[in-house]
């Protein structure tokens, strides 16, 4: 069971268009001019497999394509070529608080954000107390979130995200923000997810986190996979690349 493949990228390529006209007025006026949209291939022929329970780090310089891969896993982007297969509920810890409405209370936003992340109303009712406790926001849960500090905001978003009990956790640099207390909570939770056999995928610039936490690492450069394997090997390749 531990070796079951739950994420598979099969010859995936992703193209973006640069210089697209995004206004009708522009498009009509430029109708007679030659087309100046450029194509940009963010990912080219990406192949990899991730098994259940693995913790994988994706590293690479800015603009190498890491976020694109994460968004493809999350189902937010569609591949231009190839197939992405993901089996299991995804917990995207990428930019917390998706869908939060500032006028609504913490309570309302828990239901809103929780439903957006895939929980049913019933599941949310059951987990409500636990979410509020973990975020340490019981005194403020009925205040509109526009009055929350950024720390409170993040604690709430994080608390909801980890309570959705995903099979796959996607983490994109949120560990870089937040105070130390919050960062410690993040890492503790990640550890507990890992020991529960969940799959974790991290994008990080911190080689510390990748080497301590991940069993496997993938190095992306200019849209292609350069190295896959144990973190030490891949980090060494990364270091060679940036010198």
Partner 1 sequence: MIFIMEPLFSYKDLFWQLTFREIKARYKQSVLGYAWAILVPLLNLLVLSIVFSYVFKVPTGNVPYPIFLFVALVPWLFLVNSITSATGSIMANSSLITKVKLPREILPLTAISSKMVDLLLTCIVLMIFMVIYQIKFQPTLALIPLIFIIQLGLITGISFILSATNVFFRDIENILGVFLTIWMYLTPVLYPSELIPSNLRILFFLNPMTPIVDAYRNTIIYGKFPNIGELGYSFIFALSLLVLGWIYFRKRAKYFADVI
Residues near partner 1 (CB under 8 A): 16-17, 20, 22-25, 27, 71, 74-78, 90, 92, 94-95, 98-99, 101, 103-104, 108, 111-112, 115-117, 120-121, 144
CA dihedral 226, 230, 236, 239 (to 10 degrees): 60
For partner 1, the closer CB: 143 or 211: 143
Alpha helices by DSSP H, listed for 36-179, are 66-74, 106-116, 121-135, 150-163
Residue 142 Cβ, how far from partner 1 at the closest point, in Å?
Answer: 12
DSSP secondary structure letter of residue 30: G
For partner 1, the closer CB: 147 or 230: 147
For partner 1, the closer CB: 98 or 228: 98
> In 3-state terms, what secondary structure has residue 219?
strand
For partner 1, the closer CB: 56 or 164: 164
For partner 1, the closer CB: 116 or 177: 116
Residue 149 Cβ, how far from partner 1 at the closest point, in Å?
Answer: 20
Residue 240 Cβ, how far from partner 1 at the closest point, in Å?
Answer: 32
Nearest-CA neighbor of 87 among 134, 64, 59, 53? 53
For partner 1, the closer CB: 131 or 214: 131
Residue 40 Cβ, how far from partner 1 at the closest point, in Å?
Answer: 11
For partner 1, the closer CB: 101 or 224: 101
CA atoms within 13 A on the CB side of 64: 20
Residue 241 Cβ, how far from partner 1 at the closest point, in Å?
Answer: 27
DSSP secondary structure letter of residue 151: H
159 vs 38, 53, 132, 165, 239, CA distance in Å?
41, 22, 8, 11, 35
Residue 107 Cβ, how far from partner 1 at the closest point, in Å?
Answer: 11
129 vs 19, 104, 121, 126, CA distance in Å?
48, 18, 14, 7
> In 3-state terms, what secondary structure has residue 234?
helix
Angle at 87 between CA 226 and CA 72, to 5 degrees: 45
Residue 123 Cβ, how far from partner 1 at the closest point, in Å?
Answer: 9
């Amino acid at each position: 069971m531990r070796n079951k493949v739950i994420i598979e990228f099969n010859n995936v390529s992703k193209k973006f268009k640069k210089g697209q006209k995004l206004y009708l007025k522009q498009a009509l006026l430029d109708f007679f001019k030659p087309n100046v949209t450029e194509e940009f291939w963010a990912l080219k022929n990406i192949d990899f497999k991730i098994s259940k329970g693995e913790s994988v780090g994706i590293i690479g310089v800015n603009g190498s394509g890491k976020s694109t891969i994460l968004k493809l896993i999350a189902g937010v982007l569609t591949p231009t070529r190839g197939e992405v297969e993901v089996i299991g509920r995804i917990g995207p810890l990428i930019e917390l608080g998706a869908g939060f409405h500032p006028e609504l209370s913490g309570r309302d936003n828990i239901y809103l954000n929780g439903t957006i992340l895939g929980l049913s109303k019933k599941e949310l009712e059951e987990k409500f107390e636990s979410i509020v406790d973990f975020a340490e926001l019981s005194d403020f849960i009925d205040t509109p979130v526009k009055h929350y500090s950024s720390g409170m905001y993040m604690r709430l978003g994080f608390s909801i995200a980890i309570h959705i009990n995903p099979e796959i956790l996607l983490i994109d640099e949120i560990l870089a923000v937040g105070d130390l207390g919050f960062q410690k909570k993040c890492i503790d939770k990640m550890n507990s997810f890992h020991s529960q056999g969940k799959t974790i995928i991290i994008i990080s610039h911190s080689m510390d986190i990748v080497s301590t936490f991940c069993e496997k690492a993938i190095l992306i450069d200019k849209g292609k996979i350069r190295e896959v394997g144990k973190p030490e090997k891949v980090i060494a390749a990364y270091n060679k690349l940036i010198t």
